[in-house]
């Protein structure tokens, strides 16, 4: 993973939250919140919380006395999430590395992480840290994207932007968000981290947006794909967005657009 893959700063958090979240993250956040809340946990740790989409879905489902610690490695994203959430004395916001968590062993009933594990430099270490956080009987609930070919818009954008930079195509989406999709590898990594009870559910959903332009802007300007484009030629960011818009409109039409998305949702214990 390139170092730029982890940089969510500048205008990216706002574009990410206002465009990417409704496009692909909201529906899975609802699923995540339900999976976490079903056991009525008294203490929850969220890692790689991003702009807070799971936090906003989960907090209303937790008990009045629950402790909810929300963390992210990226301070700008965490600040954005906290500003969106509003006052809630059950929630603690803390910058933290999911691979070196600053909490005592056995502090939480559930650890959750939506679409963050793909960014872990060492996933076994990250999973072992999640397990260390859990009380006996606790659960680690997380999700990762399936292969890019199963995610229509990400695939279209990647192919369109590649034509703008044919000699050095930006591969952020394929490399990182969609680069950790092998179910057998996920199981093996979890076993190496000490988990014994592993359930993986592959869930297909439909991604919708008001227009092809919204989709292209979301991916090209609301994710670290923007960093890759600007590193090659900042003056071509708009052209790359335009080309992605044209590709999606050609496939889906000029009005509201829809495309398949697919992810693995994992619950691990033991």
pLDDT of residue 9: 47
Q: Tell me the three state secondary structure of residue 59.
A: helix
Listed in sequence order, the residues at least 6 apart from 220 whose beta carbon sits closer than 8 Å to its beta carbon are 157, 161, 226, 229, 237, 240, 241, 244
pLDDT of residue 222: 86
Predicted confidence (pLDDT) per residue in 57-106, tens digit: 999 999 999 999 999 998 988 998 999 898 899 999 999 999 999 999 99
Select from 135, 36, 52, 37 the least CA-distant residue to 86: 52
> Cβ of 14: how many Cβ atoms within 10 Å?
14
Q: What is the pLDDT of residue 13?
A: 67
Q: What is the pLDDT of residue 6?
A: 45
Which pLDDT belongs to residue 2? 54
Superfamily per CATH, domain 3-269: Vaccinia Virus protein VP39 (3.40.50.150)
Tokens 């992480």 — which residue?
113
This prediction's pTM: 0.92
Q: Specify the pairing of strand 43-46 against strand 67-72.
A: parallel
Residues (pLDDT < 50) of the chain are 3-9
Residue-level pLDDT at 97: 97
């Amino acid at each position: 993973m390139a170092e730029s893959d982890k940089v969510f700063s500048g205008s990216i958090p706002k574009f990410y939250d206002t465009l990417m979240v409704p496009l692909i993250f909201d529906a899975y956040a609802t699923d995540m919140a339900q999976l976490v809340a079903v056991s009525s946990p008294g203490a929850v740790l969220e890692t790689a919380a991003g702009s807070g989409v799971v936090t906003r879905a989960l907090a209303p489902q937790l008990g009045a006395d629950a402790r909810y610690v929300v963390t992210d490695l990226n301070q700008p994203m965490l600040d954005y999430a906290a500003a969106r959430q509003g006052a809630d004395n059950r929630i603690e916001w803390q910058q933290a590395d999911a691979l070196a968590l600053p909490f005592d062993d056995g502090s939480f009933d559930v650890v959750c992480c939506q679409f963050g594990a793909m960014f872990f430099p060492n996933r076994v270490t990250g999973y072992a840290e999640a397990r260390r956080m859990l009380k006996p009987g606790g659960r680690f609930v997380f999700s990762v994207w399936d292969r890019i070919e199963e995610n229509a818009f990400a695939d279209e954008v990647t192919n369109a932007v590649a034509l703008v930079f044919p000699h050095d195509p930006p591969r952020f989406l394929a490399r990182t968000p969609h680069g950790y999709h092998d179910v057998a590898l996920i199981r093996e990594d979890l076993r190496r981290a000490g988990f014994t009870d592993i359930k993986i559910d592959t869930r297909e959903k439909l991604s919708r947006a008001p227009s092809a332009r919204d989709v292209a802007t979301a991916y090209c300007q609301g994710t670290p794909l923007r960093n890759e484009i600007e590193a090659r030629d900042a003056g071509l960011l708009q052209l790359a967005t335009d080309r992605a818009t044209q590709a999606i409109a050609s496939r889906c039409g000029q009005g509201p657009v829809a495309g398949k998305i697919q992810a693995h949702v994992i619950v691990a214990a033991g």
